[in-house]
Structure 1
Amino acid sequence: MSNKVEKVEAKPFLAMLLQYSRDNHYNHIVFNVRLNRNPAYTRQVLSISLKRISKKFGNDERAYATMTAEEGSQILALMNTLKEEMFANTAEKIIWQTDILTRSTQEFGYRQIRERDQYNNLEFEVLL
């Protein structure tokens, strides 16, 4: 048996997440990394949830995916790269271009909810 951690590929996952949220009219994607303090094992967990705030389609909030932070490290690295590019260009929004998306370009905002704390917890939001 292999002890190698299966990592989620960042670009296809993010493209799928953005497409799903767009198709179902979700306008907030919340990424949350928290330390799981289960006495049996201690690990960081990445939770991704979708939120819709809309008068036309109604309000809704649902969990999209949960994985260990180790498995989702490529997703967090991609989001960090996109965020750094946005701040480097002093832009208001992130513009991500890839052939994986059906519309090839996606524009979204970034908002930090909580900075890394002593337990390395982190929370940020993507605004579509």
Structure 2
Amino acid sequence: MAKKANKVEAERFLAMLLQYSRDGHFNHIIFSVRLNRNPAYTRQVMNVELKRISKKYGNDERAYVSMTAEDGSQILALINRLKEEMFSDNAEKIIWETDLLARHSQEFGYHQIRERDQYNNLEFELLL
């Protein structure tokens, strides 16, 4: 019997994602949590896409990772904590500080693209 894989470490994942997006000059990180409607199985899937809109570096859009929402639940919880901190300060952006980042801090904002619907689908983006 196969062992169940461990969940993704939220802080390490977010730090790597922010570092990669900064190095690649991406300015939007889009999270999409959707219900997979395959008749063989039904599960929540979380997709992370990077998007760049830039005259200097050109426009680009690429998939970063896809995982089950259960594996990414800690990532969503971390982003939710940061979002609540941002809204409690009435700020448009927040600075996240951690030793996992090469520069030890990253400024980003939160933008809701789609509210939760009846299938619990959710879509939001982090603005860098």
Say if 1:5 and 1:70, in contact at 8 Å, map to a contact too. no
Deviation by residue 1:6-46 (Cα, 9 ceiling, x = unmatched): 21000000000000000010000000000000000000100
Gaps of 5+ in 1: none
After TM superposition, which residue ranges in structure 1, 4 or more long, deviate above 2 angstroms? 1-6
Q: Which residue of 2 aligns with 1:78?
A: 78
Q: Percent identity?
A: 77
Q: Which residue of 1 aligns with 2:45?
A: 45
Deviation by residue 1:80-123 (Cα, 9 ceiling, x = unmatched): 00000000111110210101001111000110000111000000
CA RMSD, aligned part only? 0.9
Q: Given residue 30 of structure 2, which amino acid in structure 1 is its aligned partner?
A: V
SS at match of 2:109: strand
Q: Which residue of 2 aligns with 1:9?
A: 9
Q: Which residue of 2 aligns with 1:117?
A: 117
Q: Given residue 53 of structure 1, which amino acid in structure 2 is its aligned partner?
A: I
Q: Given residue 24 of structure 2, which amino acid in structure 1 is its aligned partner?
A: N
Q: How does 1:48-67 map to 2 (within 5 A)?
A: 48-67=48-67
Q: Which residue of 2 aligns with 1:33?
A: 33
**How many residues align structurally?**
128
Give the Å deviation of 1:3: 5.5
Q: Given residue 11 of structure 1, which amino acid in structure 2 is its aligned partner?
A: E
